């Protein structure tokens, strides 16, 4: 039992200190060569530029994360998620619908995804009902409000393509241009992008899943 507690403590300590997340290919670059984006611990990232990325949502993490990205334009879909302790030893997990954060930055810029932090569980429930936030350039304090993501939660689950339709990746490239992309991302946009990125085996598995859903719905 003691060994288990020690192992758990080491795991939690390692997760809480691993705040820097490299999301580009190649050798490590200096911070002044990158776009840094701080993600509060209460935000769960769904995708970045239509990619689901490994390691962005740290298990047992108790600290913020800083994404290390190539300079450019990014569309980050994320939602609010927090655990609250209630009277009597009970707990409640508060989740919001996902929203779209837009971030654009040159080399050496530092941004943060932010929102109005609730003081208690009642405010958190209210926040989650119509969640919104903004991305902020920490140097200029310029803010960009969030937009609708095109995703909804149904039965506690997000209506986005799941594995293998939306495969996990270890890196993400900046968008070619964010200036013309003003419309919210739709479910079909995510599905098309995921299909293009999937390999042949992932596509076959997804088609089998589609066939199973059609049979179940009859």
Q: Which residues contact 66 (CB under 8 A, 6 or more apart)?
A: 19, 20, 21, 36, 37, 38, 39
18 lies in some domain: yes
Please indicate, yes or no, whether the overall pTM of this predicted structure exceeds 0.95. Answer: no
The range of the structural domain enclosing residue 185 comes to 2-210
Please state which of the ranges 102-106, 172-176, 179-183, 202-206 shows the lowest mean pLDDT: 179-183
217 lies in some domain: no
Domain count, the chain: 1
150-188 confidence digits (pLDDT tens): 887 655 555 554 444 456 788 999 988 644 444 445 556
86 lies in some domain: yes
């Amino acid at each position: 039992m003691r060994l288990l507690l020690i192992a758990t403590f080491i795991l939690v300590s390692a997760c809480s200190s691993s705040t820097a997340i490299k999301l580009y290919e190649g050798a490590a670059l200096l911070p002044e060569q990158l776009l840094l984006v701080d993600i509060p611990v209460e935000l769960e990232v769904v995708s970045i530029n239509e990619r689901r990325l490994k390691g962005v949502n740290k298990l047992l993490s108790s600290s913020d994360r800083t994404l290390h990205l190539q300079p450019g334009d990014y569309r980050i879909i994320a939602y609010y998620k927090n655990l609250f302790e209630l009277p009597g030893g009970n707990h409640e997990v508060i989740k919001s619908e996902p929203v779209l954060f837009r971030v654009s930055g040159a080399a050496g810029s530092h941004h943060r995804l932010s929102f109005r932090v609730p003081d208690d569980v009642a405010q958190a429930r209210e926040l989650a009902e119509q969640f919104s936030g903004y991305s902020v350039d920490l140097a200029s304090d310029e803010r960009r409000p969030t937009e609708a993501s095109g995703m909804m939660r149904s039965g506690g689950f997000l209506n986005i393509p799941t594995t293998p339709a939306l495969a996990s990746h270890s890196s993400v490239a900046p968008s070619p241009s964010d200036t013309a992309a003003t419309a919210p991302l739709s479910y079909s946009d995510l599905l098309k992008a995921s299909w293009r990125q999937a390999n042949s085996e992932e596509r076959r598995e997804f088609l089998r899943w589609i066939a199973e859903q059609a049979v179940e719905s009859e």
